């Protein structure tokens, strides 16, 4: 490898990791703020916030890695223009195609990494996040219950008692009194646990007795049950439904549903976007002597937003059967790639300044001896 190749790759990788760190820090802080707000509302316990936050990193990388490729190439090569190093290299006979090849090989491993994250890690991350939240919602009622103590239910609707709670969440010697306008009931069971039933978290009691009509006296009823299922006012959590984003790629490949086809193409186009936006960053890195290093960053962000929104629009069109899956999302990256590889000027002919030649008068000088 030549010295120029090492120097260029060093600049590209250093800038890539710097930009990635900044964007990950911003994304990490934003997601942490949202999760803290959800935890304050009581939807999930605060003890699992960090675990849920870690599972949100792969989906975030799926979005920000193409932007990181765009900005890192643009800033790294743009510094060569600002320091006049590019002028020296071009004067030595190094053409633009040389930089396109080097940037392309720099982007290829990043594209493979993004493909692994998009096709494998992101669906697994969505699934693990949903299971973690469901498990947290199952154990959160247990965290509010104190074994060996009569725990009052909200709004005076009853009292809950259990002698002990083991590590698996199983209850022992359960005693529940419910007071409602319609009836009053006392439940006693040696064993109990919490389970998801009809997408709701329910209290399940095993091999117990129920006493109904204790206050009225006349309609006193005693029943024995093998299994009792009920919903306490304190734990009306609902389970998180399975998201389409957690469907494995192999399942999407075999499915004929438009929504699944749209998501499959999204996962395939995302790694290809690394190459497209990286080469686009190389094209936008060229700057004049009086232009700042960050002069085109805003324009690059605008192009990224347009690119991403077009992909989202095409994906929704395929899901709604307004666009054929055979066309898919590919027109968007192909058009941007053609623009990135175009070597000519995009300025219209009327914008070009006419060629002007100035004839200066010749002044003869006489040297005296």
- Shared-domain flag, residues 210 and 132: no
Q: Determine the longest span between alpha carbons in the chain, in angstroms.
A: 142
Give a yes or no: residue 144 inside a domain.
Answer: no
CA separation (Å) from 351 to 289, 321, 346, 348?
20, 43, 10, 5
- Shared-domain flag, residues 175 and 267: no
Domain that holds residue 292: 3-139+242-346
Last residue of a domain, one of 230, 259, 294: 230
Last residue of a domain, one of 230, 262, 294: 230
Q: Are the beta carbons of 50 and 257 closer than 8 angstroms?
A: no
Q: Could you read off the pLDDT tens digit of each residue along the chain, which spans 369 residues?
A: 578 888 888 999 999 999 999 999 988 888 888 877 776 665 666 667 788 888 888 999 998 999 999 999 998 888 877 777 777 777 777 777 788 888 899 999 999 999 999 999 999 998 888 888 777 665 555 555 667 888 777 666 778 888 887 767 788 888 888 776 666 788 888 888 877 777 677 788 888 888 887 665 556 778 888 888 877 654 444 445 567 888 888 888 988 888 899 999 999 999 999 999 999 988 888 876 666 666 678 888 899 999 999 999 999 999 888 888 888 899 999 999 998 887 654 444 333 444 444 444 444 444 554
* Helical residues (DSSP H) of the chain, grouped into ranges: 3-41, 49-55, 57-82, 85-91, 96-116, 122-144, 249-254, 258-284, 297-319, 331-341
- Shared-domain flag, residues 342 and 204: no
Q: Are the beta carbons of 234 and 141 closer than 8 angstroms?
A: yes
Task: Provide long-range contacts, Cβ within 8 A and 24+ apart, for 110-116.
Answer: 110/16, 110/65, 110/69, 110/274, 110/278, 111/271, 111/272, 111/274, 111/275, 112/271, 113/65, 114/61, 114/62, 114/65, 114/66, 114/270, 114/271, 114/274, 115/270, 115/271
Q: Mapping DSSP to helix (H, G, I), strand (E, B) and coil, where does residue 152 land?
A: strand
Q: What does the chain come to in residues?
A: 369
Residue 350 DSSP symbol: G
- Shared-domain flag, residues 225 and 246: no
Give a yes or no: residue 128 inside a domain.
Answer: yes
Where would I find the beta strands (DSSP E) of 151-254?
Answer: 151-152, 158-165, 171-179, 184-197, 200-212, 221-230
- Shared-domain flag, residues 125 and 18: yes
- Shared-domain flag, residues 198 and 259: no
What's the domain count of the chain?
A: 2
Tokens encoding 127: 């699934």
Give a yes or no: residue 270 inside a domain.
Answer: yes
CA 57 to centroid of chain Cα atoms? 6
Q: Which pTM does this prediction carry?
A: 0.68
- Shared-domain flag, residues 215 and 271: no
């Amino acid at each position: 490898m030549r010295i120029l190749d090492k120097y260029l790759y060093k600049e590209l990788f250093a800038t890539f990791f710097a930009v990635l760190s900044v964007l990950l820090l911003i994304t990490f802080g934003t997601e942490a703020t949202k999760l803290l707000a959800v935890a304050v509302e009581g939807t999930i316990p605060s003890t699992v916030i960090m675990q849920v936050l870690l599972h949100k990193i792969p989906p975030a990388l799926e979005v920000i890695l193409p932007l990181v490729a765009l900005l890192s190439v643009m800033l790294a090569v743009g510094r060569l223009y600002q320091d006049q190093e590019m002028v020296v290299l071009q004067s030595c006979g190094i053409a633009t195609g040389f930089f396109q090849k080097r940037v392309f090989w720099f982007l290829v491993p990043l594209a493979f990494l993004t493909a692994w994250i998009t096709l494998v890690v992101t669906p697994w991350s969505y699934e693990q996040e949903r299971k973690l939240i469901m498990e947290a919602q199952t154990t959160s009622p247990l965290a509010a219950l104190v074994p060996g103590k009569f725990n009052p239910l909200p709004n005076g609707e009853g009292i809950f008692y259990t002698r002990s709670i083991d590590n698996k969440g199983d209850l022992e010697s359960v005693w529940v009194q419910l007071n409602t306008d319609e009836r009053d009931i006392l439940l006693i069971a040696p064993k109990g646990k919490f389970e998801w039933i009809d997408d709701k978290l329910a209290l399940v009691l095993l091999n117990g007795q129920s006493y109904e009509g204790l206050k009225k006296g006349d309609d006193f009823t005693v029943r024995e049950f093998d299994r009792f299922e009920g919903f306490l006012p304190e734990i009306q959590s609902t389970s998180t439904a399975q998201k389409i984003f957690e469907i494995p790629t192999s399942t999407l490949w075999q499915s004929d549903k438009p929504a699944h086809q749209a998501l499959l193409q999204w996962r395939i186009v995302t790694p290809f976007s690394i190459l497209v936006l990286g080469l686009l960053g190389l094209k936008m890195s060229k700057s004049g002597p009086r232009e700042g290093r960050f002069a085109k960053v805003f324009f690059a962000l605008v192009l990224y937003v347009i690119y991403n929104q077009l992909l989202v629009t095409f994906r929704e069109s395929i899901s709604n059967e307004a666009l054929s899956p055979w066309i898919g999302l590919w027109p968007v990256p192909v058009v941007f790639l053609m623009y990135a590889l175009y070597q000519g000027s995009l300025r219209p002919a009327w914008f070009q300044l006419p060629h002007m030649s100035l004839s200066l008068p010749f002044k003869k000088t006489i040297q005296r001896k």
